[in-house]
Chains A and B, each alone.
Chain A
């Protein structure tokens, strides 16, 4: 009988190591991406809140009949850029809706552009805001 060693166990060990390494790296990247998205979400929400402040300061600036609900069509929003030290933080937009009993209604949006300040992530949020005549925020709800 011939007794010989085999390299098969070594190859199996190597393959097992590679099978462990792949998912480990993937898990790390997935959790990192989730945190980047979380940061970009915060920035987009702050940009939407900023859009409301600009809207209240500048007024409607729109002509013609005002809409009753926030537009779903992305083209209806006129986004403006917001930069920090010449680098884009994101964009914001606002639209005035028809007012009801002294309550101003606005659609506001904020979005990140996936730049270095956003750590490469693009997130967009849209809200419908109701503000009374003294500028107090009455309602702030997500627009689907």
Chain B
């Protein structure tokens, strides 16, 4: 009478388990990254909405190039740590560009507002 597994069976089982565990682990890492990106996008959307709404109620002369977005406190957006929000007048146009810059200074998201 024989009990237990053969060496081949154990090898196949370990291989199958390793593949499944790797797939699950990489999925979980992806889900965690997606969740972080989702929180950041959520914050960015709220920030841009607030900034463009505030631009609408601000006099054009009060918005100087390179200044912080009016009415935006970055401390209210915890997932945008190290980010900056700046406004710039559109040359020759009626708009004000709202830029959300990442810690490296690259534009992460942007929109356009029209001052009062």
Contact = CB atoms under 8 A, between A and B. Distances in A.
A21 B27 contact: yes
A73 to B, nearest CB: 26
Contacts of A82: 95, 112
A2 B1 contact: yes
Interface residues of B, number: 43
Contacts of A38: 41, 45
A35 interface: yes
Contacts of B114: 49-50, 52-53
Interface residues of A, number: 44
A5 B92 CA distance: 79
Interface in A1-54: 1-5, 7, 10-11, 13-15, 17-18, 20-22, 24-25, 27-29, 31-32, 35-36, 38-39, 42-43, 46-47, 49-50, 52-54
Contacts of A141: none
Given A14-B20, A31-B38, A53-B114, A5 B45 contact: no
A100 interface: no
Interface in A47-103: 47, 49-50, 52-54, 57, 82, 84-85, 87, 89
B6 to A, nearest CB: 9
Contacts of B34: 28-29, 31-32
Given A28-B38, A43-B111, 16 more contacts: A2-B1, A4-B3, A4-B5, A7-B16, A11-B16, A25-B27, A28-B35, A39-B109, A42-B52, A42-B111, A43-B110, A46-B113, A53-B114, A85-B107, A89-B111, A119-B109
19 contacts: A3-B2, A4-B3, A5-B3, A10-B17, A14-B19, A17-B23, A21-B23, A24-B31, A31-B34, A32-B37, A32-B38, A35-B42, A38-B41, A39-B109, A42-B111, A46-B52, A50-B95, A52-B114, A82-B95
